[in-house]
Structure 1
Amino acid sequence: MNRRIAILGGGRIGEALLSGLLSSGWRDPSELVVTNRGEERIAELRERYDVEATEDNVAAVTGAGLVVVAVKPQDIDALLATIGAHLTTEQTVVSVAAAIPTAHIEERIADGVPVVRAMPNAPATVHEGMAGICAGAHAGDEQLALAEDLLGHLGRVVRVPERSMDAVTAVSGSGPAYFALLAEAMIEAGILLGLSREISTTLVVQTMFGTAKQLRDQGMHPVELRESVTSPGGTTIAAIRELEQAGVRAAFLNAIQAAMDRARELAEGG
């Protein structure tokens, strides 16, 4: 496969990919091209990363082994109309456009081109992201492995069937917003209790970070971790009781179900 990678869209996720690929050494600047609208942004990307940057999507995909579609969902049809006929079966398309099924892309590009759909999340910008990937009709293990290598530079990757991608979107795609809302509430609670915003923020953010590391690096089950800091008659169980009585657990279940339902509506053009 040609080592050249074309990243179509130099926004948040597109730039995160660019940064991750370069910092890891997986690709040299000469093997990367990024596209974006607007000369100012193009010049910024070119200067920051020393890569080819252009507004010409057709030129970018020509000769690229891997084409990453990183535009907003509302812009994808116009992009595919421009590049679709110029793609070949020797290339692999990896789409990170939210809620766009592989079939939608396959219908708008040359026949037989392998397509992999991916759902990364916002922490990809600090290379601690979580992505789910699935194969389209013409993609196999080779293309999935390529997508894993690509997105692995931004965090962790799991393979799922396409029918599960809306669930991935609801859990990890939207997940950072849930944690941010929780952090916001805990920080405000600290302020209510007399802490400064700075101290409260530090306490909450580091606690969330450390807890995540315990769950991931030590392989602790969430129940095990919760019980390890919950003493009989103590402060933690008093707080847990209030959260359970307020229906926080059920609220999360309902919220994530609603997110998945909305993802399905968007995939159907809703």
Structure 2
Amino acid sequence: MSALDGKTISVIGAGNMGGALISGLIESDLLPPESVTAIDIDDEILRGHNCRLGVTTTKDAGAAIPDKDIVILSLKPQIWENVVQPLAESFVSTQLVISIMGGVQCGAIESVLGNSVPVVRAMPNIAALVGEAVTGLAGGKHTSVDHLDLAEAVLMSVGEVVRLQEPQMDAVTGLSGSGPAYVYAMIDALSDGGVKVGIPKPIALKLATQTVIGAAKMVLESGEHPSILKDRVTTPGGTTIAGLAVMEENGVRAALMAAVEAATKRSKELGE
């Protein structure tokens, strides 16, 4: 029995991330299409969800909120308040609000909604589109363990979930929220390196992509620290240590760490 059995959900903002959650919930059979409502201002997005998944679609958020058990806010952090403020009276304390808006704190949403509405802040990543996201989530001041369990059931429809305290959520945004872009840049660079040494681009891209998939799977399944796995393929005087030395000389590790720090800082700025 799922925590979502019998629940109804509205998703405000049904683009990439909101749409991925809608797809995950339906395609994993956690909810029937009639239990999910997609809300967006884009007619094409709404038609797509209705035709492909059979969910209810509307532009009228005010009419699609009051009778729902869960409302997911999937809006750009720069505009969310302008969208949600006029709808505040539609929310009640028996609902759960899940925000997947980068940098927006639970307290900010709670102050707009009022009525002791429980809010869970979550940060999935773009891999939700292929069911391989990792999501950090944290509760606000009105949330209970049951609320967190419910939010986790929703987010697990698109991948893995970890629970944290809210002060850590900006760091989650900087690491795993933005992280796919760092990995895409690495894959692109590796494949370009392959082209530079004579491998055709399509083959180089396949080699680089599968290498990343395989390495990540080894970390997950072996339970060993990445540094141990790295040492296992690094022989004295060999090719791998030659490549790693160049990476160290060019500050690759430091650059990745700095990228996480910069994205975390930006997430905090968006919440101010």
1:237 aligns with 2:252: no
d(CA) in 1 for partners of 2:120, 2:17: 16
| Alignment CA distance shift 1:262-1:39 (3 Å) | closer
Deviation, 1:220, is 2.3
Query: Which AA in structure 2 matches 1:208?
Result: V
SS at match of 2:79: helix
Runs of 5+ consecutive residues of structure 2 not aligned to the other structure: none
d(CA) in 1 for partners of 2:183, 2:170: 19
Contact 2:72 2:97 in 1 (8 A): yes
1:116 aligns with 2:116: no
Q: Which residue matches 2:147?
A: 143
1:38 aligns with 2:42: yes
RMSD: 1.2
Contact 2:138 2:166 in 1 (8 A): yes
Higher relative contact order (CA 8 A, sep 6+): 2
1:49 aligns with 2:53: yes
Alignment of 1:96-245 (within 5 A): 96-245=100-249
Question: What does the per-residue CA deviation read over 1:163-191, in whole Å, with 9 as the maximum and x for residues that have no partner?
Answer: 10111011101101111111111111000
1:80 aligns with 2:84: yes
- Aligned pairs, how many? 268
d(CA) in 1 for partners of 2:100, 2:234: 40
Question: What does the per-residue CA deviation read over 1:114-163, in whole Å, with 9 as the maximum and x for residues that have no partner?
Answer: 00000110101100001100101101211111111000011111111111
Of residues 58, 62, 69 in structure 2, which corresponds to 1:65? Answer: 69
d(CA) in 2 for partners of 1:225, 1:40: 46
Contact 1:93 1:113 in 2 (8 A): yes
Larger mean CA deviation between 204-213 and 220-229 belongs to: 220-229
d(CA) in 2 for partners of 1:43, 1:208: 36
Runs of 5+ consecutive residues of structure 1 not aligned to the other structure: none
Of residues 14, 21, 27 in structure 2, which corresponds to 1:17? Answer: 21
Q: Which residue matches 1:254?
A: 258
d(CA) in 1 for partners of 2:225, 2:142: 38
Question: What does the per-residue CA deviation read over 1:205-260, in whole Å, with 9 as the maximum and x for residues that have no partner?
Answer: 00000111111122121011101111111100111111112222222222221221
Deviation, 1:75, is 2.4
d(CA) in 2 for partners of 1:98, 1:255: 16
Deviation, 1:39, is 2.6
d(CA) in 2 for partners of 1:82, 1:57: 10
Contact 2:78 2:270 in 1 (8 A): no
Identical pairs, percent: 37
d(CA) in 2 for partners of 1:110, 1:48: 36
Deviation, 1:74, is 2.0
| Regions of 4+ moved over 3 Å | none
Deviation, 1:24, is 0.9
